[in-house]
Amino acid sequence: MSYKIQVFKGDGIGPEVIGEALQVLKLAARRSGVVMEFREAPLGGHSIDLHGTPLTDEALKQAQESEAILLGAVGGPKWDNPKSEQRPEQALLRLRKELGLFANVRPVRVIKELVAASPLKAEVVTGVDLMVIRELTGGLYYGKPSERRQVNGQREAVDTCLYSEEEIRRVLRFAFELARERRRRLVSVDKANVLSCSRLWREIALEVSAEFKDVSFESQLVDSMAMHLLRRPRDFDVIVTENMFGDILTDEAALLAGSLGLLPSASIGTEFNNAGFRMGLFEPIHGTAPDIAGRDEANPLGAIMSVALLLEYSLGMHAEAELVRNAVELVLRDGYRTRDINVGPATTLVSCSAMGRLVRERIELLGAE
Ligand code: IPM
Ligand code: MN
């Protein structure tokens, strides 16, 4: 059995961080004797330059045939023209939809050594360990109509928020199942005091909660949730919400951990792969950071932690995933930092490639124990 892994390095710092992450994944394959076949294709701006489209049909087909996808980031000033027909972000939206990647998992764990990197007070963020599950293929991002039009000589624009009960139910079940593996607490976030979509969301959340009596459950309004996340982030275990609210809340939650550069994400699909798990797309949550692209200064840990999620969710290689996570934590404990998290006196500033190498050395050491 051989697993196909689709690699989209993308734009900006994407190739640098994915280069390091890919070596970690290859190491995990070698160590465990699992055969992985890697296929690469351009994505986003890079693909626009080469093929005139952010995602070619061929690249999409390769992705569909794979067990999992490892992705850097897409976009950059070169392709920023809002009037342009071809935008890098369309590649992501199309991949999510075509692959049925309905659940976006964004874990936020504050590592003790990095508490000082957060702009929030140490006593607020110490010990934070939460997970946001964002619905990824519905809501405002995909509802039709979504267009600009001319009405009575005025420009107007419309977007549509649409959710079916099945779309809501499957992501809620996914979140409840995750909560069951963790501290058994789930908060569902909506705007049920105003929006019909949110009222349906809340109704279904309550129905699904009856299937998971062992998980404590509550619904929260998104505006007050935005506040609670900063005021008492430690109280949360798993948070589930719709697409747009999840987009906003996850950037906010990322701030708890200090640097976007550390955080991974997983987008989990409806399809089961040849490994017997759900196919998924794994990417760091940071963007392309064009200002430091090509300088070997980026933080590869978000991409490397995404490899840990890939091993766990799409390949079921839990021991290897744990090894990667432990190695990352130890390297940070030893004081190694990339520029974005260079805090505290007893630290050593390292490059992107050096950080990747340190993690791999740690994996080999830990694995040999
Ligand atoms: C994210 C990003 C994307 C989103 C953009 C780039 C389309 O912000 O993954 O959070 O809004 O989903
Ligand atoms: Mn976002």
Query: pLDDT tens for residues 173-197?
Result: 999 999 999 999 999 999 999 999 9
Measured from the CB, is residue 321 less than 6 Å from ligand 1? no
CA 109, 115, 118, 123 dihedral sign is positive
Separation between Cα atoms, residue 294 and residue 35, nearest integer Å? 31
Which residue puts its alpha carbon closest to atom 8 of ligand 1? Answer: 247
Separation between Cα atoms, residue 274 and residue 271, nearest integer Å? 10
Q: Which of 66-75, 111-120, 258-267 tops mean pLDDT? A: 66-75
Measured from the CB, is residue 92 less than 6 Å from ligand 1? yes
The string of pLDDT tens digits covering residues 293-339 is 999 999 999 999 999 999 999 999 999 999 999 999 999 999 999 99
Q: Ligand 1, from 8, 11, 74, 89: best to mutate by most atoms within 8 Å of Cβ? A: 89
Rounded to 10 deg, the angle between the 318-333 and 352-368 helix axes is 120
Give the amino acid at 278: R
Residue ranges per structural domain of the chain: 1-101+263-369, 119-257
Q: How many angstroms separate the alpha carbon of residue 363 from the centre of ligand 1?
A: 31
For tokens 């992107």, what's the residue?
Answer: 352
Measured from the CB, is residue 89 less than 6 Å from ligand 1? yes
Separation between Cα atoms, residue 289 and residue 296, nearest integer Å? 12
pTM: 0.95
pLDDT at 314: 98
Q: What are phi and psi of 231, to 5 degrees?
A: -85, -40
Whether pLDDT at 343 is above 80: no
The set of catalytic residues is: 141, 191, 223, 247, 251
The string of pLDDT tens digits covering residues 195-251 is 999 999 999 999 999 999 999 999 999 999 999 999 999 999 999 999 999 999 999
Separation between Cα atoms, residue 18 and residue 30, nearest integer Å? 18
**Nearest listed ligand to the Cα of residue 71:** 1
The domain covering 119-257 belongs, at the CATH homologous superfamily level, to: Isopropylmalate Dehydrogenase (3.40.718.10)
Which residue puts its alpha carbon closest to atom 4 of ligand 1? Answer: 247
345 in helix, strand or coil? coil
Q: Which atom of ligand 1 is nearest to the CA of 247?
A: 10
**Nearest listed ligand to the Cα of residue 93:** 1
Q: Are strands 35-40 and 2-10 parallel, antiparallel or unpaired?
A: parallel
CATH 3.90.1150.10 corresponds to the domain 1-101+263-369: no
Measured from the CB, is residue 247 less than 6 Å from ligand 1? yes
Share of the chain above pLDDT 90, in %: 93
Whether pLDDT at 44 is above 80: yes
Measured from the CB, is residue 136 less than 6 Å from ligand 1? no
Nearest-CA neighbor of 137 among 176, 178, 168? Answer: 168
Are 1-101+263-369 and 119-257 the same fold in CATH?
A: yes
Q: Ligand 1, from 95, 102, 247, 286: best to mutate by most atoms within 8 Å of Cβ? A: 247
